[in-house]
Amino acid sequence: MSAIDPAFTALPIPSPAASSRSIARRILGRAARSTEFRIGLALFAILLLAAAVYPELSGIDPTKMDVRARLLPPLFMGDKWSWAHPLGTDQIGRDMLVRSVVGLRYSFLIGVASVAVTLLIGCVLGAVAGYFGGRVDTLAMRVTDAQLSIPMIILAIAVLGVSRPTIPAIILVLGLSNWPVYARVMRSVVMAERGREYVRAAQVSGATHARIILTLLIPLLAPPILLTSILDVARMMIFESTLGFLGLGVQPPTPTFGNIIADGRKYLLNAWWIATMPGVFLCLTLTSINLIGAAFERARNTIYGGV
Amino acid sequence: MADMIDRRRILLGGAAVAGAGFVQINPDFLISSAYAQSGKEMVFLSAENITGNWDPTAHTTLSQKNIEGYVMGFLTRTPMKLEDPGAVVYELATDIKLLDPHRLQIKLRNDIVFHDGKPFKAEDVKATFEYGSKPDRPAQWYPGPSETLTIEMPDDYTVIVDTSKGGYPAHLFIFLASFLPIMSAKDVAGGPGGPLTQRLNGTGPFKFVEQRGNATILAAFDGYFRGKPAIPGISFNFVGDSTTRMLSLMNGQASIVERLEPEQVETVKGNPKLTTNEVVSVENKYLWFRCSKPPFNDPRVRLAACHAIDRSLILDLLGSAGHASANYVSPVKFGYVDLKNYPAFDPDKCQAMLAEAGFPKGAGLPPLEYITSVGFYPKTKEYGEVITSMLNDQGFKVSLTVLEPAAWNEQLYHRPGGGPGHMVDCGWSTGSPEPDLILRTHFHSSSHRICGVEDAEIDASLDKERNAATLEERKTILQTETMPLLASKVPALSLFTSVMIHAMQKDLTGLYIYPDGSIDASKPA
Amino acid sequence: MAAAVLSVRNLSVDLALAGRERPILKDISFDMRPREIVGVVGASGSGKTVLSKAVVNWIEAPLAIRGGEVRFRDRDILAMAPGEMRRLRRDVAYVGANPMGALDPTLPVGRQIVEKIRAVAPEIGGAEAARRVVELLEAVRIPSAKARFHDYPSQFSGGMMQRALIVDAMVSNPTLLVADNVTQPLDVTVAAQVIRLMRELTERFETAVLFVSSSLPVAREAASRILVIDDGRLVEEQPTEALIASPRHPYTRELVSQVPAIWREAPAVPRGSNAERSAVVSLNDVSQTYRVRKRGAFAGASELRAVRRVTFDVFKGDSFAVVGESGCGKSTLMRLLSRLERPAGGEVLCEGQDISKLSGAGLLAFRRKLQLVLQDPFDSLPPRTAIGRMLEIPLRVHGWRDAGRIREKVRAVMNDVGLPDALYEELPTGLSAGQRQRVNVARAMVLDPEILLMDETLSALDQTEQFKLLALFEKLQREHSLTYIFISHDLAMVRKACNRIAVMYLGEVVELADNDRLFFDPGHPYTKALLSAMPTLEERRYRPEDCLLEGEPPSPIDLPTGCSFRSRCPQAFDRCVRENPLLTARGRTDLSSCHLVSSPSAIAAERASRSTGT
Amino acid sequence: MLGAPNGRDGVRSPMFVLSFLIRRLAQGAVIIFLVSLLIFTLLRVVPGDPVRLMAGGMAPEALIEEIATKMGLRDPIVVQFGRYMGKVVQGDLGQSFVRPANGAATGGASFNDATRGERAEVLDLILETLPMTLQLAATALAIALVFSTALGVAAGLNPGGWIDKLAFYVSSVFISLPNFWLGIVLALLLSVKLGWLPAIGYAGYSYTILPAIVLAVELSPVLIRTLSSAVAAQMGQSYVAIGHVRGLTLPRIVLNHALRNASVPLLNVLGVQFSSLLGGVIIVEYIFDYPGLGLLTINAVLQRDFPLIQGIAIVTSAIFVLINILVDLAATSIDPRLEY
């Protein structure tokens, strides 16, 4: 790596004061200093808090319907709005705010869990393929191709048809149908890394392949992949609504963004807020996580990059 | 699917003499001349797909019946208006007369030609009746198989239907005449798999041109006996999604769309270019109990469930898509009456019934599954959720399963040992005033259609009303015995009567729409 | 005296990081005349690379010009508009130290050079440009230049790529060429070729060359005048020979003194008779073969014979060296020795045990015994792991559990190799190459091994750091009675540090000898070629004109018949085509495989010597 | 150092392409075979007897069994699969359970109808609708690529700059838009309110644009993200910095080199995205009543038309496999270092 400019490599050793803290804490500290991180965190905290306590605190049951007060618009819109329902009500008179935040809970659960499944399968398979190469690689990549070529909808019909469309089944379907992306990315980065000398050093120190993959490569390569997977959390939450659209979504009365959007779609012309609110919450959640993630990434790069 | 018209010989047996009350009005089948003058073809967006087999006796599909409504001729039409459900309007027939309980004489017009040029004669009616009543025809809505029928043709324009071999009353053909499309004897001679399946050939105002993907193309028929329609053609399209249909109407691509959501009615009303047509339909929506398995094999549990449901809330939810009714048939059907003992929302009675059945406050009841569909009828999922929560409020343990139509359809019907789940949502629509198309189909022990109820008392009452000698007598039995009996045993709960809502471009105002959804667009030029 | 083509006046460059500024170059002034080759020498971090970039107006954030001028033909290029500067690129060319990253990997080399010509000299037509490129590729002795024109950068070896980049720089007939550490990544024989080439080109194109190098001997080979830079300052400037003979500045004196002496003095390497000591590592007829998929074939695979029938012993307390150039198989040998791979044939014994048969606890015990120190100071440390943790990992692998004891041990080892405690929680990011190599050594030492395998451990370091690390190695060997196996291409270092040396070429050991014998009486022409190419400050013992090699080694997939060295051997004759010479004893302990070695007794001699030894 | 052997034959020779294609197509055939088996099995374990659907819900059990036996649906799955694949290799994907030859979406007909018209060939149905979907997909891809390239490259050239931030927020918003929501809103806005574009059905190319925009919005976030990071990564490569010193202009470096290199990860992402594009196509075609493969699929699914679902699944997986092979081929011909 002789391209690295000696001017940069010869930085003075950081003062002992800085180095007394562990790297993770330094990254956290640096990230926490950025405005974006604070905005993101504040937003995320508000959403999290709302999702955690608002339904219980307000005492409003997300499944409690009031047919006579249905399709009330959000605050200050039209002339039927009421303080009791700040974001209006849905087609059977349930409070949109409480449904949105409870929906956020379930959708976030679905999004995060299915991305976790995706990451688990994708990263492990990709890492194994990239690390060992050769036949293992060919086999793993063709399995990936095969998975890629099965349309998600077929998988969804099959799996969700066999079991009732419960949340775990939906997580499984979404997770199973999206891992190839990560397998490919992971494979290519692991392939680049496995030739590096520190991997060899670890082998010579006696570390097993599993140990190298798990303790050296995954911690190194996972964070950027995690960051990119944030978009996928949102995508999964949207995919869940596609399943709802096909009648394969989470069954009522459990509110998820997916079924709120899918059901509210019919009312888009008259009651735009039903299908739109989850989208707004989704966008806010995504943006807040993205802001935090981006601040972390920058902090990581600063600490690791030394510049 | 929705339009499950009975295929069995429901009106079989029992002679009776009936004198039908014919109304000699010809509803003014108007459409605005503004639209007609524009010379545009009418684009109709249907919510339901068709079968692809053009033989009218091969299917029971409502959308295809609607197409037949444009293309085919009928002996009579039944406007089925709320104020007079039994009204009949002559079309191909000029007179229908019961000669004796087993002989019905039908006089025909003599100025009609089929679209392929063949003149319409008595042989066509004979061929239609004889072919349609064959036991292998899938859409079995004749009272008996062909061998029980004798059809005489005293002259080219008179038909006498003789049911004496079958032993059932001939008056059953009066209501049937209004929804049996008359086919050409030449086509019928081609037999199953012949020209009948390939295309439609009728005497209606529009002739069939071709099927182009999901669009059925019809063109105005020059030789229509009331004169060539002003609209040059109709394009009948299947578009599954209601929002899509609405958007299409709003941007002017569609002329008329069906099955509006009530909220969409608001939208249309706010749009100066559009108008709506609402008509109380022949279709009631039911909550079917699986009567052959616990706990709903106990009428008290069924009744408890019925008392737990506040139907006024469901109607609120449906808005203009629902019409309050308190009977097992639609108010536009023969024999309808608001039943005094129809179960109303009453938590106390519900609890009392539950306690009586041995499930005080629902304790001891198994978890129940309520199956409904989404995407076909308006608001099934919404009111399904409401009903689920109302039942749960009274101590039932109900979970709602929402299925897309194909899966729901597969789960719908009774099977030996009872069908899937414990309650199913489904509507029943028959394009005829005949009430037995519902009552007997569903509640007679021999049928087991959905609820699978077997009850000797109900059977006896159903037989009694069918065998009544006259329509008046039959009406009385229906209204005072059969229907109240059903309301006390509730093998199902009729929730409300659907309102068929169409929206159209304003220049189509006045188009006549029948309660089964078929449309008269035949205004002469 | 001709007018200066380049005048640098009072040039100062800072490193401007958020909040803190640090001068990199301080007040540098010098001149260059046409056709002159000026060497710039300094330690890594002295600022010489920044100087080379400043001369071509390539100073990017966080670097910033703080003052001074770079006058090229009397115009200050630092003040030029970007468009004007771009036109000037025709006359001011640059070649860097990292040839492999310098071109777009997805386009053929020739096309990219043509693109450059057309960018700086639009008047030259495409066909004409292509013709010129091929001509120049031939001039820098790239074999079958016409075909190579269409090859991609990844198909070029490092040496070829560096030559292609020189073509890229010279193709527009520049007046000034800045060559920043161009020979650093190259093998000695190839580096010598490149320097010779550069000298020829200055003659042919009248180009002045600013030759930046971290190695004084290399700069001596190339330049007629040398500037010495220390900590951003120009401390001395003298004609080359005068500078070496009589350095004036203390730093220059230190630099000259640190250059290993090859011929002048006998190095203090560990020595002892084999009879007294036991072999800790023995290779018996070891071969390694790889299967590589043939491109363009359906399912075919070729055999790449990376190591061929290698046999030698390493004795306890030895500093054993394996030398050879890129592709000679020494890295494969390293992998076999460290049991990263199992040999395809033969056996590798460690204290009598065949290591390829080890597994589980036995393997872990072997790993504790033999540790590896890697070549690349940047690549060999996981970039995002703190140094302390990096050193803890091997301990944990070997079953250490007590966090306190682990920490203690790591600190002790860090002290041993001269790393301050403060680095424990630090990332390797800010460390110099020398410090990184210390971390590398520490990582190996933390397991208290008996044998250290040094894979090119010093080759990425500048002279001063090499000097310090060699001292450290000596200390460690003394204190821990270590056995070293160095794998290196640097004969000067080997001369200084090792007692026994194996020379490899194309997977075979072509010569195996004790230090003095190898340097003063090499038995194989390849050894001689290596020695002749070795940059040094002393008078040469072997004249490059007689021994220097042309071209590159053949591919290990299609080995030539007979002697594999014959395609480059200046003394090759008929017999070399027919038969591959055996390793032949020259005296008691030394062997060489060349038909010109007189003794007929074959490999048995080595076997015999071993049996007496053990 | 052990380098890859230097092929002297010019890396992307026709020979290489041919061998690559033959090798990958052979693997692809195996993949399609396995995927077909999987799909075939999955569709047979789904509850819901297709025969009950075909025969109509009211059909008696005996009739259902009779039909099932006659159609071989009670044979072991392997036997059924063997029979099916035997026909598939002859280009016969079977006949739709419910669709007539004239192609209309149908429902409600009963199976035991001797007079039913000719059933539609699955292959014909697919071949009829596939070009429509390909047209839609190509338009969507073109829109997405133009948009994402403009935004992604601008963002990648200036990481941390305002365009980068804009790209970040645009991606966030785009990804939060459910496609059916966006479809309706766009149809309302562009078709109903402004009357710029037709929306529903198909009667000319202009009907493709609106659905294509919706799909493009769905595709863009990932493309923007990939492109901006790939371009940013390429701009940090030494050949870019050295390119300046070699006298190349910035546009030249970006267009000729950085974009060329950045297109490799982009291609990989595209290959993967095609698969999830089908999900979007289904919804969008349904919303816009666009007569393509997506609409065919959703109708087949809603009607449980198993031969059709199966045929579509096999054809689409074959297409995906092909696309991925082509993507890999394109990637290797851009970057000769890649090995697939």
In a domain, D309, yes or no: no
Is D4 in CB contact (< 8 Å) with chain C? yes
Q: Is the pLDDT of residue B480 over 80?
A: yes
Q: Is the pLDDT of residue D327 over 80?
A: yes
Mutation choice for A interface testing from C230, C370, C397 by most A CBs within 10 A: C397
Together in a domain, C308 and C167: no
Give me the residue from D58, D104, D289 closest to B52, CB to CB. D104
Please report where in the chains the tokens 């009774």 appear, as a residue.
B414
In a domain, C597, yes or no: yes
What is the Cα–Cα distance from B10 to B354, expressed in whole angstroms?
35
Give me the residue from A13, A207, A215 closest to C430, CB to CB. A13
C in contact with A (at least 3 C-beta pairs within 8 A): yes
Of the two residues C192 and B202, the one the predictor is more confident about is B202
A162 to D316: CB separation less than 8 angstroms, yes or no: no
The residues that bridge with B492 in the sheet, in sequence order, are: B288
Together in a domain, D91 and D140: no
Is the Cβ–Cβ distance between A151 and D278 less than 8 Å? yes
The residues that bridge with A275 in the sheet, in sequence order, are: none
A9 to C383: CB separation less than 8 angstroms, yes or no: no
Model confidence at B324, in pLDDT bands (50, 70, 90)?
Answer: very high
D261 to C56: CB separation less than 8 angstroms, yes or no: no
In a domain, C266, yes or no: no
Lowest average pLDDT, out of B479-488, C547-556, C574-583, D98-107, goes to: D98-107
Give the count of domains, chain D.
2
Residue range B280-500 forms a domain whose CATH class is alpha beta
Together in a domain, C497 and C556: yes
Q: What are A201's two structure tokens?
A: 């050093």
The residues that bridge with B81 in the sheet, in sequence order, are: B84
Is the Cβ–Cβ distance between D5 and C302 less than 8 Å? yes
Q: What is the pLDDT of residue B341?
A: 92
B247 to D57: CB separation less than 8 angstroms, yes or no: no
- C-alpha of B410 from chain center: 20
What is the Cα–Cα distance from B400 to C372, expressed in whole angstroms?
66
Together in a domain, C443 and C533: yes
C in contact with B (at least 3 C-beta pairs within 8 A): no
Together in a domain, C322 and C436: yes
Together in a domain, D91 and D134: no
A151 to D275: CB separation less than 8 angstroms, yes or no: yes
Name residues whose C-beta falls within 8 Å of residue D131's C-beta, 6 or more positions apart in sequence.
none
The average pLDDT across B229-245 equals 84
Q: What is the pLDDT of residue B79?
A: 74
Q: Is the pLDDT of residue B453 over 60?
A: yes
In a domain, C183, yes or no: yes
Lowest average pLDDT, out of B141-150, B302-311, B348-357, D158-167, goes to: B141-150
Radius of gyration of chain B (CA): 23
In a domain, C614, yes or no: no
Model confidence at C320, in pLDDT bands (50, 70, 90)?
Answer: very high
Q: What is the pLDDT of residue D102?
A: 55
Q: Is the pLDDT of residue D340 over 60?
A: no
In a domain, D56, yes or no: yes
Q: Is the pLDDT of residue C125 over 60?
A: yes
- The shortest C-alpha distance from B374 to chain A (Å) reads 7
Domain that holds residue D43: 13-98
Q: What is the pLDDT of residue C270?
A: 61
Percent of chain B with pLDDT over 70: 88
Of the two residues B157 and B446, the one the predictor is more confident about is B157
What is the Cα–Cα distance from C127 to A176, expressed in whole angstroms?
54
Domain stops at, among C224, C258, C292: C258
Q: What is the pLDDT of residue B11?
A: 31
Model confidence at C389, in pLDDT bands (50, 70, 90)?
Answer: confident
Lowest average pLDDT, out of B190-199, B422-431, D5-14, goes to: D5-14
Q: B295: cis peptide before it, omega within 30°?
A: yes
Together in a domain, D145 and D289: yes
C40-85 per-position pLDDT tens digit: 998 877 888 889 888 888 888 778 888 888 998 888 888 888 888 8
In a domain, D4, yes or no: no
Quick one: DSSP state of residue C107? S
Measured between beta carbons, which residues in chain A are less than 8 angstroms from residue D47?
A: 161-162
Q: What are C46's two structure tokens?
A: 């002295």
Q: What is the pLDDT of residue C598?
A: 60
What is the Cα–Cα distance from B364 to B359, expressed in whole angstroms?
6
Which of B68, B74, B160, B71 has the alpha carbon at shortest distance from B116?
Answer: B71
B380-433 per-position pLDDT tens digit: 888 998 899 999 999 999 998 888 776 787 788 888 778 889 999 988 877 677
Of the two residues D171 and D142, the one the predictor is more confident about is D142
Domain stops at, among D63, D98, D133: D98
Together in a domain, C213 and C358: no
What is the Cα–Cα distance from D199 to D188, expressed in whole angstroms?
9
Is B449 in CB contact (< 8 Å) with chain D? yes
Of the two residues C577 and B29, the one the predictor is more confident about is C577
Domain that holds residue C335: 274-384+427-601
Together in a domain, D153 and D286: yes
D253-262 per-position pLDDT tens digit: 888 888 888 8
Tell whether ipTM is more than 0.90: no
C432 to A10: CB separation less than 8 angstroms, yes or no: yes
Beta-strand ranges (E) seen in D21-144 are: 95-100, 119-121
Give me the residue from D168, D238, D301 closest to A157, CB to CB. D301
Three-state SS at C157: coil
With CA atoms as reference, the chain D residue closest to A278 would be D176
Q: What are B347's two structure tokens?
A: 């938590």
Three-state SS at B276: strand
In a domain, D103, yes or no: no
Print burial letters for C468-502: b (CB count within 10 Å at least 16), e (below 16). Answer: bbbebbbebbeeeebbbbbbbbbbbbbbbbbbbbb
Please report where in the chains the tokens 């080439």 appear, as a residue.
C197
What is the Cα–Cα distance from C469 to D330, expressed in whole angstroms?
48
The residues that bridge with C347 in the sheet, in sequence order, are: C284
Measured between beta carbons, which residues in chain A are less than 8 angstroms from residue D278?
A: 151-153
Q: Is the pLDDT of residue D2 over 80?
A: no
Which of C5, B143, D275, C281 has the alpha carbon at shortest distance from A179?
Answer: D275
Mutation choice for B interface testing from D53, D54, D58 by most B CBs within 10 A: D58
| Residue type, position A168, single letter | P
Q: What is the pLDDT of residue B523?
A: 54
Which of B260, C413, C434, C432 has the alpha carbon at shortest distance from C424?
Answer: C413
C268-285 per-position pLDDT tens digit: 666 554 556 678 899 999
In a domain, D131, yes or no: yes
Domain that holds residue A245: 13-306
Q: A253: cis peptide before it, omega within 30°?
A: yes
Quick one: DSSP state of residue C510? E
In a domain, C278, yes or no: yes
- The rounded mean pLDDT for chain C is 83
Domain coordinates in residue numbering, chain B = 2-33+50-200, 280-500
The average pLDDT across D296-311 equals 80
Model confidence at B285, in pLDDT bands (50, 70, 90)?
Answer: very high
| Residue type, position C386, single letter | A
In a domain, C607, yes or no: no
Which of C456, C582, C570 has the alpha carbon at shortest distance from C510?
Answer: C582
Q: What is the pLDDT of residue A195?
A: 78
B410 to D52: CB separation less than 8 angstroms, yes or no: yes
The residues that bridge with B424 in the sheet, in sequence order, are: B288, B371
Q: Is the pLDDT of residue C191 over 90?
A: no
Q: What are C7's two structure tokens?
A: 């005048």
Quick one: DSSP state of residue A72? P
Is the Cβ–Cβ distance between C499 and C271 less than 8 Å? yes
Q: What is the pLDDT of residue A162?
A: 65
Q: What are B397's two structure tokens?
A: 């343990």
**Which range, C77-86, C441-450, D304-313, has the best average confidence (pLDDT)?**
C441-450
Q: Is the pLDDT of residue D213 over 90?
A: yes
Residues of chain A with pLDDT under 70: 1-21, 161-164, 305-307
H or E, element range at C361:
helix C360-369
**Which range, A45-59, B340-354, C343-357, has the best average confidence (pLDDT)?**
B340-354
Together in a domain, C87 and C231: yes
Q: Write the burial class of residue B495 (CB in 10 Å: 0-12 exposed, 13-18 middle, 19+ buried).
A: buried
Q: How many residues does chain C have?
A: 614
Q: Is the pLDDT of residue C362 over 60?
A: yes
Q: Which CATH number fits the domain that encloses residue C43?
A: 3.40.50.300
Is the Cβ–Cβ distance between B414 and D62 less than 8 Å? no
Give me the residue from A180, A246, A276 closest to D272, CB to CB. A180
What is the Cα–Cα distance from D65 to D67, expressed in whole angstroms?
5
Model confidence at C610, in pLDDT bands (50, 70, 90)?
Answer: very low
- The rounded mean pLDDT for chain B is 81
Lowest average pLDDT, out of A98-107, B47-56, B435-444, D102-111, goes to: D102-111
Q: Which CATH number fits the domain that encloses residue A149?
A: 1.10.3720.10
Topology adopted by domain B2-33+50-200: Dipeptide-binding Protein; domain 1 (3.90.76)
Which of A105, A29, A159, A128 has the alpha carbon at shortest distance from A278?
Answer: A105
Lowest average pLDDT, out of C602-611, D180-189, D268-277, goes to: C602-611
The average pLDDT across C128-136 equals 88
Together in a domain, D196 and D264: yes
* CB neighbourhood size of B274 (10 A): 21
